[in-house]
Amino acid sequence: MSTYAHKKGFGATIWDYLTTVDHKKIGILYLMAGGFFFLVGGLEALFIRVQLAVPNNDFVSAGLYNEILTMHGTTMIFLAAMPLIFAFMNAAVPLQIGARDVAFPFLNSLGFWLFFFGGVFLNCSWFLGGAPDAGWTSYASLTMEAHTHGVDFYILGLQISGIGTLIGGINFLVTIVNMRAPGMTYMRMPLFTWSSFVTSALILFAFPALTVGLFLLMFDRLFGANFFDVAAGGNTIIWEHLFWIFGHPEVYILILPAFGIFSEIFATFSRKRLFGYSSMVFATVLIGFLGFMVWAHHMFTVGMGPIANAIFAVATMAIAVPTGIKIFNWLFTMWGGNIKFTTPMLYAVAFIPSFVAGGVTGIMNAVAAADYQYHDSYFVVAHFHYVIVGGVVLALLAGTHYYWPKMFGTLLNETLGKITFWLFLIGFHLTFFIQHFLGLMGMPRRVFTYLPNQGWETGNLISSIGAFFMGIAVIILLINVVMTQVKNVRVGNDPWGDGRSLEWAIPSPPPFYNFKQLPLVRGLDPFWIEKMEGKTEMTPAEPLGDIHMPNPSFLPVTISFGLFVAAFGALYHVDGKDWALPVLFVGMGITLISMLLRSVKDDHGFHIHKEDFENEDKGGRA
Amino acid sequence: MRKRLHKWRLISIFAILALALSGCGEPFLSTLTPAGEVAKKQYDLMILSTVIMVLVIIVVTVIFIYVIARFRRTKKNENSIPRQVEGNHKLEIIWTVIPILLLLVLAVPTVSYTFQLADVSPMKQKDKDGKTKDALVVNVRANLYWWEFEYPDLGIITSQDLFVPTDKKVYFNVKSSDVKHSFWIPAVGGKTDTNPEGENQFWLEFDSKGSEKVQNQFYGKCAELCGPSHAYMDFKVQTLSQDDFNQWTQDMKNLKKPAAVGDLAKEGEEIYNKSCIGCHANTANDARPEKARTAPNLANFGDRTRIAGILEHNEENLRKWLQDPEKVKPGNLMTGKYQKLDDHELDALTAYLMGLKLEQ
C-alpha cells in the first residue's frame, strides 16, 4: 500500500523498478534498455560506415568488421527494435483497452528481465574473446567453422532473450483477449492494440522456430551433435529454413506495431476517425497470416528450384495488396482532416513515402529471377533499411514523442523534436537511397572493404555522410530528453488536445491502478465520443470499489540472472574449464530455486480500498 | 514547412538525375549494363518492375502532396472538427483490385523467367562416354577464399580466372568445399549459392558485343558472407571467341610439366616441389581427387590477371603475397602452411611462378 504517492529516494526508486510488475514501469524499463541497445547498435552502424567511407580502408580489421556487422544487426533487431516495440505495447495497450494491468504482471516483468540479461550476455562477448561474426543470420556452415566463442554468445544470448519475448507475446495475447473494458469489443479496439495483438500471435508462432534452430546449433557447437555437419550427414540449409521461418514473420512482428503507432498518430493529428477501420484490421491480420507463407524468398538463390521459387515469389507479391490498402487508408484518413504537424505527425507523414519506397523494392525483390541479381547485394541492404528504418525506426521515434507525455507526464520539446526529425530523415535517405544503386552496380553486402576503381567510391562516401546526420539527430533527441526531464513541466490528461482512445482520458502518467473505475466503451475512439458530447471524462462502467493489485517481486530478476550465470558455465564447459560445470549448476540452481519460491509462496496481491481513493490527492507519481 | 518539403523533394529529384547521368556503374561489374542473355532477362524484369512501381509511387505521391498541402491546420480552422468518415467501399475496392492487377502483370513474366533461367536440361544429355553432348559444362568449386573452375568434359582445371566462349550457353555446376559462398558475375547474370551440400546448376551466356566493351574481362564476386576475407573473394572472367576458346583448351591440355627457364626459376622450382606441391598443382590436368586439391591450380599462373584475386599481377605483389599471405587476405588457409621464405627464396619462387604460362 505504500507504493504510491510518495517521493522516494534514489535507492528506493531503483528497488522499485527492479521489483515492479506494473506495466507502465516495465514499459519505461523496456524503453531505457531498448534505447541503450539502440545507441550501441547505432554506434556499430557508424563504425561500419566509417570503414566503408573510402576504398581499402583500415579503420577496423576484417575480422572485427564482421563482429561489428553481426552485432549491429543482432542488436538492432533483437535488443533495440523488439524491446522498444514492447515498451510502447506496455505503455499503451492496457490503457487502450481499459485494463488495470496486463493479464500476467509477474510474467511481464520476467519477460523484460530475460530479454535484458540475454542482451547483456550477448554483449559480454565483446570483452570475452570477441563478438559473434557470422552475420545476424548466422548461417550454419559459417557458424560451425567459427573458432571463437562469439557464436556461442549469440546462441545462448538469443535463446535467453527469446524466451523473454515469447513470454511477452503470450502475455499480450491473453491480456487483449481477457482484459478489455466493458463495451470494448474487438472491432472497437484501437489499431495499435490490434497490431499488438497480431504481433503477439506472430511471436507465438515464429519464435519457436528460432528456438528450435538455436537449440540444434547449440547441440552442434556445445555438445558435438551433427545436425549441420555436412561431413556427418547434416544439412546447413535446414538452418536457413528454420531461421527464415522465424525471420520473415519477425519483420512483421516489428512493422505491424509500427503501423499501429502511425494509425493512432494519423487519426489523432488529422482530428479524424481512421479511414476504413475494418479494412485496416483485416489488412493487419492478413499481413500477419501471409507473413508465414513467404520465408523462402530470402533463399531464392539457395537452389530450391524454379517451382518453389515461383510459388514463393507470387506469395510474396500478394503481401503488397494489404500493405497498399493500409497506405491508402492512411492517406484518406488525412484527406479532409484538420492536420496538425506536430513532431509525431511529421514522422508519420514522412513514413509514407519512405515506407512506400521500401515496399516497392520489396516487390522488386519478390521477382525471383531478378532477385538473383539483388540477393546479397547492397540493393537488399537498401531495401530492408528502407522498411526497418523508414518504417519501424520512424515509428519508434514517433512513438517516443507521442507517448512520452503518457509515460512520463512531460512533453518533449517540439522545436528540438523537429530538428531531430529533419536531420534523421535527410540522413536516412542520404545513407540508404544510394545503396540501391551500389547493389545494382555489383557491390555485395557484408564486405569489410572494397577495392578502388569499381565505381563504388562516391556512393559509399555519400552513404557514410548520411549516417552521421542520423547520429547527430539521435544526440539531439537525447539532449531533448534530458532537458525535458530537468524542466519537468507537467501535462494534463490529453496533452495533444486531440486524443481519441482511452489512454488520453486518464492522468499522465496514469496512477498505478490506471482506472479508478473501469470505463464504459461506446464505440471506436471512446474518449473522442465522450469529448464530442462535451464530457471530459469517460463514463464509468462500475461503481467505485476495492481494486485488486499484484505485489511487486524480485524473483523475475533472480530467475533471469540465474540463466545468465548458467549460460557462462555452458559456454566455457566446451573448453574443459574446471569451474564451468559448477557455474552452470549454480546458475540453474538460482533459477530453479527462484521458480520454486514463486510456486510455493502464496502471493494474493493486495487491495486498494475504496476509502483510500477518498483521501488520495490527484494523480500518481512519475 | 510546405516550402521546405518542396525544396527537399527537388533536391532528391536532382540527386536521382545526377545519378542517372553519372552512368550505371562500371560495365564489367554492373547489373545495369547487362552483357549476356541471363543478365538481359533480369534487366528486363528490373525495368518492368521499376515501371510498375514508379506508377504506384506517382499515384501515392500525388495524393500525398495534395493531402498535406490542402488539409493543414491553420489559425482560421483551428477549432473546426472534420467530418468523421468511416470509409468508402468503392475507393477501398479500387485500391485492392488495381494492385492485384498490377501484380498479375508482374507475376507472369516472373514465373516464366524463373523457369527459363533454371532450364539446364542440355547439361543432362550425355553421350556414351559420359561426356555432355553439346553443352559446355564448368564445375565451379568455391573455397575459402578462392575459386576453382573445372571443365569435366575437357579434362582441364584452372583457378581464379574463368575462361568461357562468347555467344554460347555455358552451364555451371556450383558447390562449395567448406562454408557457403555465392557465385556472382553481376554484368552477365547471377547468382547461385555454392552450398557445402549438393550441387546447384544454372547457365549463363556471355555476349561478344558486351565482352568487347570491357576488353573481354568481367568481374566475379562471392556474394555470401564467408569469413574475414569475404570482400576479397573475387575472380575474373575472360571471354574468348569460340575459336580462341578451342585454342585455349588445346593449349591447356598440351601444357605438360612446366620447364623452369633460368637458374633462378630452377631454384624456385625446387622450393615449389618442396613446399607448395602438397596443395597446389602446376598442370591443368590435375588428376588428384577434389578433396586433395586444397589450393588454386597454378598451371597458367603467369597469365593471371590478379595475385590472390585482388592485387595487380606483378612480381612485387607476388612477393608480398608469398611473404605474408595473412596481410593480404586475412583468414586465408595458406598462411602457416609452409616455412618462412628468405629474400632469395622469394625471388626464386616468384620467378618460377611467373614463368608458368601457356605457350604463345
* Residue-wise pLDDT tens digits, A438-476: 999 999 999 999 999 999 999 999 999 999 999 999 999
Interface contact flag, B71 A360, Cβ < 8 Å: no
pLDDT, tens digit (0-9, with 9 covering 90-100), for A396-449: 999 999 999 999 999 999 999 999 999 999 999 999 999 999 999 999 999 999
- pLDDT at B15 > cutoff 70: no
Collect all residues of chain A within an 8 Å Cβ-Cβ radius of residue B176: 141
A235: which chain B residues are within 8 Å (Cβ-Cβ)?
Answer: 197
> How many Cβ atoms from other residues are within 10 Å of residue B79's Cβ?
7
**pLDDT tens, A274-320?**
999 999 999 999 999 999 999 999 999 999 999 999 999 999 999 99
Facing residue for A336 by CB, picked from B46, B71, B106: B71
Disruptive mutation site among B28, B51, B93, B179 for chain A (greatest number of A CBs within 10 Å): B179
- Those of residues 79-138 in B touching chain A at CB distance below 8 A are 80-88, 91-92, 95-96, 99-100, 103, 106-107, 110-111, 113-118
Number of C-beta neighbours around residue A599 at 10 A? 7
Q: Which residues contact A172 (CB under 8 A, 6 or more apart)?
A: A89, A93, A102, A196, A197, A199, A200
CA nearest neighbour of B56 among A391, A318, A327, A274:
A327
Q: Is B194 on the interface with A (CB under 8 A)?
A: no
Q: What pLDDT score does A622 carry?
A: 36
**Stretch B178-192: mean pLDDT:** 95
B222 in helix, strand or coil?
strand
Chain B partners of A275 at a C-beta cutoff of 8 Å?
85-88
d(CA B14, CA A170): 49
List the B146-151 sheet strands across, edge first: B156-159, B146-151, B136-143, B169-176, B200-205
Q: List every span in chain B annotated with CATH 2.60.40.420.
A: 25-66+88-241, 263-354
B83 CA: distance to closest CA in chain A (Å):
7
Residue segments in chain A with a per-residue pLDDT below the cut of 70: 1-7, 616-622
Whether domain B263-354 has CATH 3.90.180.10: the reply is: no
Q: Which amino acid is at A168?
A: G
Chain A hits for B26, CB-CB cut-off 8 Å, are 441-442, 453-455
Which domains are seen in chain A, by residue range? 3-543+555-612 (1.20.210.10)
- The mean predicted confidence, pLDDT, of chain A is 94
From chain A, pick out residues whose CB is under 8 angstroms from the CB of B114.
306, 309-310, 313, 368-369
DSSP code for B349: H
**Residue A568, CA distances (Å) to A153, A574, A585, A591 in order:** 9, 11, 11, 14
Q: Could you identify the residue written with the cell 501484380?
A: B103
Q: In A, which residues are within 8 Å of B31 by CB distance?
A: 373, 440-442
For residue B176, count CB atoms less than 10 angstroms from its CB and return exposed for 0-12, middle for 13-18, buried for 19 or more: buried
CB contacts, 8 Å: B46 with chain A? 364, 370, 373, 440
Question: Among all residues of chain A, which has the CA nearest to that of B97?
Answer: A321
Q: Which residue of A has its CA nearest to B2?
A: A341
pLDDT by residue (tens digit) across B273-326? 999 999 999 888 888 999 999 999 999 999 999 999 999 999 999 999 999 999
Closest Cα of chain A to B56: distance in Å?
8
> Across the interface, do A442 and B83 touch by the CB < 8 Å criterion?
no
Residues B212-250 have pLDDT tens digits of: 999 999 999 999 999 999 999 999 999 999 999 999 999
Class of domain B25-66+88-241: mainly beta
Q: Which of A266, A367, A448 to mutate to test the interface with B (most CBs of B within 10 A)?
A: A367
pLDDT tens string B83-112: 999 989 999 999 999 999 999 999 999 999
**Lowest mean pLDDT across A1-5, A33-37, B52-56, B346-350:** A1-5
Note whether A272 contacts B82, CB cutoff 8 Å. Answer: yes
| Model pLDDT, residue B255 | 80
